[in-house]
Amino acid sequence: TATDAYNNIIAGMANQFGLALVDINAKLKEAAESGITVDGVVFTTEFVSGNTFSLDGIHLTGKGSAMAANFFIDAINSTYNSQLKPVNPGLYPGIYYYR
């Protein structure tokens, strides 16, 4: 409930001032439900193998941060008619493990 309330305030302010906005909470829910593919890298919220979260289960991996950066880049480009280039998540570290 608190997260939704804060996100509504943030969205309202962004809308009021014409600012770019990314609902990261919604994106992480999407990753949890169906996964998100960016440049061939699949992101889920699966612990260790999901590419999104680090081993503490809270912070994003390098790959996860690149995924999030692309959402912000898309929002900035769309809102301000800019042409920032997306980043390739495959170039950033994730969690390496052996099965």
- Contact call for residues 40 and 92 (beta carbons, < 8 A): no
Mean pLDDT of 34-61: 94
When pLDDT is averaged across residues 33-47 and rounded to a whole number, the result is 93
Average pLDDT over residues 29-35: 96
* 99, pLDDT greater than 80: no
- Extract the tokens encoding 60: 């994003």
Residue 79: per-residue pLDDT:
97
Q: What is the pLDDT of residue 48?
A: 92
What is d(CA 6, CA 88) in angstroms, rounded to the nearest whole number? 30
Look at residue 34 and tell me whether its pLDDT is greater than 70: yes
Percentage of residues in the chain with pLDDT exceeding 70?
99
